Structure 1
Amino acid sequence: MKSSIFKGLFLLLVGFQSAQAQEIDETYNSKIREFTTDPRFLPQSVLNVEKHPEIPSPLEHFGEIIGAPKIMHSTAEIYEYYKILADKSPFLSIRQVETSEEGRPIFLVIIGDEDSNQRLDHYQSQMNKLADPRITDAAQAKDIIADTKPFYYLNGGMHSTEMGSPEMLMELAYRMVSSSDPAIVNIRENLILLINPVSEPDGRDKQVDWYHRYTKEISEWENDFPKSPPYWGKYVFHDNNRDGLQVSQAITKGIFKIFFDWHPIVMLDLHESVPLLYISTGTGPYNEQVDPITIGEWQIMANSDIASLAAQGMPGAFTWAFYDGWWPGYGIWVANNHNSNGRFYETFGNAGANTYLRDLSKQSYAGDPATTREWYRPDPPTEKVYWSARNNVNYMQAGVLASLTYAAHNGEQLLKNFYQKGVNSIQKGKSESPKAFIIPSGQKDPVMAAYLVNQLRAQRIEVHQATEGENEGDYVVLLDQPYRNLAVNLLTEQNYPKDAKFPPYDDIAWTLGYLYGVKVEKTDSLVYESNQLKLLNEDAKYTGKTVGNGNGYFLNYQAQNTVLPALYWMKEQNKNFEALILEEEFIVGNDTLAKGSIYFEGINSSLAKSLNENYGLDLIRGSEKPQSDQGHKMNLPRIAIYHTWFNTQDEGWSRYTFEQRGIPYTSIDKDDLKNGNLRANFDVILVPRSRGNASTFIHGVTTEFGPIAYTKTEEYSSHGFPDSSEDITGGPGFMGMDNLKKFAEDGGMIITLDNSTAMVAETGITRKLSPYSASGLFHPGSVVTVKAKNSSSPLLYGYPEIFSIFRGNGPLYQVDLKNRDMMVLQYGTKGLKDETPYDGPIMGMPDKKKEETKEQESTEKSPPYVRSGMVRNEQNIIGHGTLFNVPVGKGRIIAFTFDPLHRYLNHHDAPLVWNALINWDDMD
């Protein structure tokens, strides 16, 4: 292995030097030198760009080289260049793999020699065979590997302000198809390169327009002018790299399609954030379900890349000290989760093509300054660097070329590793516990059970269904399959070590059964006969049924996610449609309906069937009609979702959730709050989580540089979507806050999620909530236990007394003891100390005779606070409020101290919001 590494490194360097004998494009190379600010930032491997007689270089096509000052290209310009390369070169082809939410294409570029392109289907088929050792034994795998070229996947343009990779990849593609350099020829002959040049095209175009509209002329990095437009994608901002479990956005669907179509042995995602080049391995703890082979590949490939850059005299390359390696939902983890190798770079970007003096003195990673010499950073940068876009291109491209060289020389070993990881997974499924997971029928929300099955299938995890017998309808995940490790990862609890030296990089728990509210059982023995289990080849769907007799239709409410959408749909079908929300248990035949259940007035069998089929709802027919005093009439609210202009991340997830569920809403912003008259237009205003504090919420984007328009114009056509403003600076101000308070006082409901609760609690909209600081509490995203404080509250309809929710680090609030009835839900199962009745002596009153009382032992042991994940000093949150119902005038505030709409993941928590909406005008 060592000899292969050094041979590859030697060829990389000597090969690039030998290219001096080729026809070099001296103009292009002189410009590379001109735009590179320091000779130490100029690796030999990116020089010697050749001039091809037929294929236009970026300089010939665009009139300037890649990385030139103040030059950034839109997706249309980028795609046009790749299409020209495809037309001029037999080594490159391009095909569309996905369409973005705003209608832009997502393309895949494929590069290889003539043999690779002529036998592309063959090599694709070979990788499919290696991906499943059940159909390919060891002897067959050996023959396949001998006749296979591995695919290597480069992903660019995920985060829109990280603008360098879509630029660099064009130059790399030109180099790969035009160069006669032996090092490049070696890569081209021994690898097939897959390039996703702009994985988030909507955000790319918004960012390029923003750069040309506003930031192109900024000369100092520390300038506070926003370097990003308020939106990237239609829904998701930076979290587009946190969608790998949901697979909800087009960017993720495109990445998944590329991976599963081609099974690349390595996926390298190109990011920009830290100086000067970070090559991922991570500090740990590493995800426990990652095959050790992959972890070994992370290390050896990172150190190979660092050695290559060091050999070219480049400072500032490092590994280990950034990121951890735990969360499996990043884009690159489609590779790590499926027996491949997911890696990423972080180069030093300037959010554009300006050259800035950058101060690194205050940056540190894993406790060490970014400029100190460490075992993982043998050649650190100076505390200040004069940094250009070309420097960024140089570092990124030199790293990629080093990595491609390693893969080209070690392709056989990487293919063996890929196959062996599948073998290991199957063997574990046969020999280790559990042997299978069962998702039993009879779930409280069977639609979510089907959704869980479909999410597993989206990850290519095989799911069977029992087709007969007493357990008919059960879903079964047999673990003797190639992606066994991922199935275990998704369906079991996470145990993040409490003593981890460094804080986690992201959420630390993702147990899907908890997040979806679906019961999942582990088993080592199956009660099914083999002929009773059928492999699902299409998505699962639950179709509800109607049982019983009578003219009335009832729904037994169990916090099903589709109930509120169904109610809005029914109202759309018939404006006179009415329903009664039952406030007490109600008996229909042999069924006892829970509080919150619904009596549908005047619907017919056709509509009932639609509720069964389209919303997966089970209905009960009965002849006895509830009395009006047994419930309250449904009055569906007019909903607004508020967004700030300084942070649209979680508001985007909320909009996405509402649209996926089919819940109508209106998007509003600071100007709507300032204009007032809110109650005339809305009944409920949802304020999603938004970073910052109450002051940030009130004052918004700094007005120092205003006005800043985010509007669609002929020149900046990507702007103005999904919302527009003539001036995004400033916030609602005190007038807007007063209008929001008046909205509640006039009978409206304000729902605040997570730290948006600060907006109502710390601005005087309510004085009942006060901030609480839990000493030493560290609460990264985990699944934890909560308990009903007010079991009769409509907010808790459909939930048991004790259940779980997903919570990350966020603010806590409390109410005085006299207002403790406003606390609907609490963390943990034990109450606060001030709720324990005083039973000591009272001066001035006769001593009470103490009666001997024997505490009744609970028949059930309370579940632990942490169900999946990790919380430090959890005792300091237990008993405090999870959810509050605070009256304000005629209306109220429903205040969450967590986010029940987190990243379209914790679907089990979302019905707490749906309950607020269904019962918004009858919350007492």
Structure 2
Amino acid sequence: MILKHCIKALAFSALTCVSAFALTARAVPSAPANWPNIQYDNAIPDMQTVLGYSVGQRITSHPDMLRFFEALQQAAPKQVKIFEYGQTWEGRKLIYAAIGSEQNIANLAQFSNDMQALSDPRITNKNEAKPLVKDLPASLWLEYSVHGNEISSTDAAMMTAYHLLAGKGDATVDNIMQNSIVFIDPLQNPDGRSRFIANYYSTVGMMHSSDRLSAEHNEPWPRGRANHYLFDMNRDWLAVTQPETKGRIASLNKYRPLVVIDLHEMGGDESYYFAPSAQPVNPHMTKAQIENINLVGRNNAKHFDANGFDYFTREIFDAFYPGYGDSWPAFYGAAASTYEVASSRGEIFRRLDGKELSYEDTVLRHFVASISTAEAVANNREKLLKDYYQYQVDAIDAGKSDKKERVFILPNKRDRAGNFKLAKLMTEHGVDVYQTTEKVKMCGETYAPGSYYIDSAQPRGRFVKTTFTKQVDMSKAFIEEQERRRERKLGEQIYDVTGWSLPLMYNLEVDTCGKGVSGQHRLVKMTDTLEGNVINPNATVAYIVPWGDMAAGRFLTAALQQNVTLKTADRAFTLDDKKRYPAGSLIIEVATNGADIAATVQDIAAKSGALVEGVNTSWVTKGPSFGSNDTYLMSAPKIAMAWDDPTSSLSAGNTRYVIEQQFGYPVNAVRTSMLARADLRHYQVLILPAGRYQDGLGKAGADNIKQWVEAGGVLITLGSATTFAADADIGLLDVKRELAIKEQDNNEEPDAESSTVAGKAYASRDDLIKHSENSEESPDFVAGVLANVEVDQEHWLTAGVAPEVVGLVYGDDIFAPIRLASGKNLAWFKGEDDVLASGYLWKENKKQLAYKPFLIHQPTGNGMVIAFTQEPTTRAYLDGLNVMLMNAIFSAPAHAYVAK
């Protein structure tokens, strides 16, 4: 059996093992063995027996992976247990396997309870923790293939599980099984992997091709990286929007594994990466955590050296953003890291050095890393447990010692739905969140019942700090190095967003206090729901839904889909000198709806969480009356969204998710190539997510869309789609993209037809650098910061939106304002000194971004173009922008003049 031969071959040559599966014979160097004395139990089935092929012969599908793990559990039920932790959007099962000795697996439920006890020094003091540290097994969580086209780790997971269960007479395996529990999540993204496999094998011809130009190595849109909604799930651990992420977080919170490893793939011309990570490191991580993951890295290095495997550390893949699969666990106390292997992106790949990288090569390296990691965890069982408990103690002490920001308070004065969602999200992360049940005084301020607060003097206090503080700083040395590199045009090394404060992204008011809280409160639970309510449910004239949060938004989408007749008021109004309702409020008149409207309103309110007020008069004393020209009848729009190349799959998927799953409204995905010639008359809204549409749509497509807009359509552009719309040759949007600001004497370009240029004297190296600059180039690229945005309060498109919101700035697009003759700038970035809300922004970008538009409205014929200069749906975690986007989608069609 080839699998058994492969692992046994480690006794002679790990790389010879790889060559045993090669499609074509090729010479490989020999290497020392890792596990020379191992024997395999024939009672444990291998892949050849279960699936008909051996490891590395074929890219294993999701159904085959399930079959193999089920066969392992059937053969060794006392040493492995499989748990289902969720289902994907497409209905595929998500599993993890717990592997260990018979005793460790039999005690799995008690292990979970003991880890919960060890996780909270408030209930388990140091004396009580000592026997747990002494007796508990260590624990390792190995998570594989979160990106569906990073294929090798799932097969490595299968190989690792077999090795641990079938391996006999080997000290390493015995040590791992006796002293630890190894949790294996073999396939985090079944939907993406299934998409990759279907595309890959459909392109294979007579022989597999190693040519990087071949169809085998060039996936079609949207590729297999993302899940069904095209989320990069490795960045979903902060917002927790996808069912796959939700299930994983619940599982990790149940067992609190001490070490968590996320196994990935990178470019095929690379080697292998493991810890230590690159800079910057999140300052809320501890020295012990960093030491422990480096200890694991050293053990990996020992095994990689023994096998002659190249690897690198520290150069890329930082540990700063807390929303990765390898960083989120650090904030409950685990030591965590990512591993990356050079990818064959298929069964064989020719590297730039001329060597061929096989699928088996990549699987073997992840397998070796998995076992060597498990060995390090077992060897350091007591140290890891001790450090884990101390992490919890120190987290509580750190919270208590903060005399300024110990407690974070959500007063819940506005955006009731947003406050509730954020409180529930933090609870899902494992944070203790409280809601006041009476008036509570904190640091001199009195907070009404219903306010939320989080005391950072708790085991998850460091997670609270890194997600609730406005600013988490990168190290001074790292920033200085990035500025030096930028000056030298070497390219900065910031890997991902530098700002992610959750209250800012939700656009919620948050206060802080340096003292603990007393008074009546309740612990927020995952089972809590946002309760809707209808005041005066038997109203005789109308029902009013105050606009401004997502509970009202969900009420709107449900009502539209149930054919409820309703209106929206462009301006705030006061009813009978008693109650003021904000702009955008929904009006459902009894007379224009059916006899069952009261029951319908109550049902929708209960399901959406909206607050609704029934009224018995329509006498408005200030603002537009119910029959005013400033009160518009709304209808259910048909929404089309550009899909497929050249649309950004992430932008398309994130946007579709926000509309369908957060707003509760269907979207029709239309392939971009169809938009160039399609009859769009039956759509009221067309959304262009970020993308490079010059190739996919071009002038002809833009002209088709423009005719549709002029006839009454609403075009919404997001991020780089706004760049396309603003192109002078395209002509959909009357704005211009700005070049970087340059000093005046730097704008002199030599005559292209001349062989000479006027002479200049340089006094310093700075002059050389200054006059080497291009006179026309884009602003410097921004990896992702949170920026403050001011909002026009006198337009229907910003109804219900706060005077200031926070948006994400990414990339290098900055736009000049639209002229009043063409449209309006309805939201714009704040001034240079105030524009940055969180993160690190180059000083030149701060200066140039100030007072530039974020939201633009341009009437065109009977329709309009609504342009967001940045994406409001990135990662579906900018909840504070959702009302603005809802206005664009649902209010805009009511303001377009379409012949009915």
TM range (shorter): 0.7 to 0.9
Give the conservation status (yes or no) of the 8 Å contact 2:148–2:192: yes
Give the conservation status (yes or no) of the 8 Å contact 1:207–1:228: no
Letter in 2 for 1:349: S
Letter in 2 for 1:320: R
Q: Structure 1 length as normaliser, TM-score?
A: 0.82
Q: Give the corresponding residue for 1:387.
A: 357
Q: Structure 2 length as normaliser, TM-score?
A: 0.84
Q: Give the corresponding residue for 1:200.
A: 189
Q: How does 1:120-135 map to 2 (within 5 A)?
A: 120-135=108-123
SS of the counterpart of 1:108? strand
Q: How does 1:287-686 map to 2 (within 5 A)?
A: 287-314=282-309, 316-354=310-348, 356-359=349-352, 383-433=353-403, 434-442=405-413, 444-469=414-439, 471-497=448-474, 498-499=479-480, 501=482, 502-525=492-515, 528-529=518-519, 532-546=520-534, 551-553=540-542, 555=544, 557-575=546-564, 577-602=565-590, 605-620=598-613, 621=615, 623-625=617-619, 626=625, 627-646=627-646, 647-660=648-661, 661-679=663-681, 681-686=682-687
In structure 2, what is the Cα distance between the partners aligned to 1:220 and 1:338? 44
Q: Give the corresponding residue for 2:100.
A: 112
* Distance change >3 Å, CA 35–CA 251, structure 1 → 2: farther
Per-residue Cα deviation, 1:599-630 (whole angstroms, up to 9, x for no partner): 32226544443454333333343623414234
Per-residue Cα deviation, 1:553-605 (whole angstroms, up to 9, x for no partner): 46474531233432232234345x13242335445433333333333222654
Letter in 2 for 1:628: S
Q: Does the alignment pair 1:239 with 2:232?
A: yes
SS of the counterpart of 1:155? strand
Q: Give the corresponding residue for 1:257.
A: 250
Q: Give the corresponding residue for 1:8.
A: none
Give the conservation status (yes or no) of the 8 Å contact 1:777–1:876: no
* Distance change >3 Å, CA 166–CA 42, structure 1 → 2: farther
Alpha-carbon shift at residue 258 of structure 1 (Å): 2.5
SS of the counterpart of 1:814? coil
Alpha-carbon shift at residue 111 of structure 1 (Å): 1.4
SS of the counterpart of 2:232? helix
SS of the counterpart of 2:244? helix
Alpha-carbon shift at residue 30 of structure 1 (Å): 7.6
Q: Give the corresponding residue for 2:278.
A: 283
* 97-106 vs 818-827, which moves further: 818-827
* Distance change >3 Å, CA 907–CA 157, structure 1 → 2: same
SS of the counterpart of 1:499? helix
Of 702, 705, 728, 1:737 maps to 702
Letter in 2 for 1:299: N
Alpha-carbon shift at residue 416 of structure 1 (Å): 0.7
Per-residue Cα deviation, 1:855-880 (whole angstroms, up to 9, x for no partner): xxxxxxxx721111121121011122
Of 795, 798, 803, 1:796 maps to 798
* 765-774 vs 192-201, which moves further: 765-774
Letter in 2 for 1:761: A
Per-residue Cα deviation, 1:275-300 (whole angstroms, up to 9, x for no partner): 21101333222112222221222323
Give the conservation status (yes or no) of the 8 Å contact 2:141–2:182: yes
User: RMSD over aligned Cα, in angstroms?
Assistant: 3.0
Give the conservation status (yes or no) of the 8 Å contact 1:161–1:228: no
SS of the counterpart of 2:724? helix
* 43-52 vs 879-888, which moves further: 43-52
Letter in 2 for 1:787: E
Give the conservation status (yes or no) of the 8 Å contact 1:46–1:398: no
Q: Give the corresponding residue for 1:840.
A: none
Per-residue Cα deviation, 1:161-193 (whole angstroms, up to 9, x for no partner): 111011112122111111122222222221211
How many pairs does the alignment contain?
806
Of 833, 837, 844, 1:867 maps to 837
* Distance change >3 Å, CA 234–CA 64, structure 1 → 2: closer
Of 169, 183, 199, 1:210 maps to 199
Give the conservation status (yes or no) of the 8 Å contact 2:507–2:880: yes
* 741-750 vs 534-543, which moves further: 534-543
SS of the counterpart of 1:686? strand
Give the conservation status (yes or no) of the 8 Å contact 2:575–2:618: no
In structure 2, what is the Cα distance between the partners aligned to 1:630 and 1:750? 22
Alpha-carbon shift at residue 484 of structure 1 (Å): 0.6
Letter in 1 for 2:286: D
Q: How does 1:668-707 map to 2 (within 5 A)?
A: 668-679=670-681, 681-690=682-691, 693-698=692-697
Q: Give the corresponding residue for 2:738.
A: 772
In structure 1, what is the Cα distance between the partners aligned to 2:240 and 2:369? 29
Give the conservation status (yes or no) of the 8 Å contact 1:110–1:194: yes
In structure 1, what is the Cα distance between the partners aligned to 2:346 and 2:495? 26
* Distance change >3 Å, CA 767–CA 558, structure 1 → 2: closer
Q: Give the corresponding residue for 2:133.
A: 145
Give the conservation status (yes or no) of the 8 Å contact 2:470–2:504: no
Q: Give the corresponding residue for 2:260.
A: 267
In structure 2, what is the Cα distance between the partners aligned to 1:38 and 1:599? 76
Give the conservation status (yes or no) of the 8 Å contact 1:278–1:346: yes
Q: Give the corresponding residue for 1:362.
A: none
Of 70, 73, 85, 2:72 maps to 85
Per-residue Cα deviation, 1:426-473 (whole angstroms, up to 9, x for no partner): 11122223221211232x210111101100000010111211236211
Give the conservation status (yes or no) of the 8 Å contact 1:466–1:472: yes
Alpha-carbon shift at residue 50 of structure 1 (Å): 3.9
Q: Give the corresponding residue for 1:846.
A: none
Q: Give the corresponding residue for 1:856.
A: none
Of 176, 199, 212, 1:221 maps to 212
Alpha-carbon shift at residue 35 of structure 1 (Å): 7.9
SS of the counterpart of 1:871? coil
Give the conservation status (yes or no) of the 8 Å contact 2:572–2:584: yes
Letter in 2 for 1:452: L
In structure 2, what is the Cα distance between the partners aligned to 1:774 and 1:923? 36
In structure 1, what is the Cα distance between the partners aligned to 2:822 and 2:699? 29
In structure 1, what is the Cα distance between the partners aligned to 2:583 and 2:297? 58
Per-residue Cα deviation, 1:77-119 (whole angstroms, up to 9, x for no partner): 1111121122222422322221111111111112112222232
In structure 2, what is the Cα distance between the partners aligned to 1:403 and 1:78? 22
Letter in 2 for 1:408: A
* 604-613 vs 870-879, which moves further: 604-613
Alpha-carbon shift at residue 339 of structure 1 (Å): 0.8
* Distance change >3 Å, CA 609–CA 236, structure 1 → 2: closer
SS of the counterpart of 1:194? strand
Alpha-carbon shift at residue 477 of structure 1 (Å): 1.2
Alpha-carbon shift at residue 746 of structure 1 (Å): 1.2
SS of the counterpart of 1:628? coil
SS of the counterpart of 1:167? helix
* Distance change >3 Å, CA 437–CA 871, structure 1 → 2: same
In structure 1, what is the Cα distance between the partners aligned to 2:186 and 2:550? 37
Alpha-carbon shift at residue 918 of structure 1 (Å): 3.0
Q: Give the corresponding residue for 2:863.
A: 891
In structure 2, what is the Cα distance between the partners aligned to 1:17 and 1:202? 33
Give the conservation status (yes or no) of the 8 Å contact 1:98–1:106: yes
* 328-337 vs 228-237, which moves further: 228-237
* Distance change >3 Å, CA 734–CA 309, structure 1 → 2: same
Q: Give the corresponding residue for 1:746.
A: 711
Give the conservation status (yes or no) of the 8 Å contact 1:552–1:599: no
Letter in 1 for 2:612: L
In structure 2, what is the Cα distance between the partners aligned to 1:739 and 1:427? 63
Per-residue Cα deviation, 1:613-663 (whole angstroms, up to 9, x for no partner): 333333343623414234333234221122124542221111211122212
In structure 1, what is the Cα distance between the partners aligned to 2:523 and 2:640? 43
SS of the counterpart of 1:609? helix
Of 880, 889, 897, 1:917 maps to 889
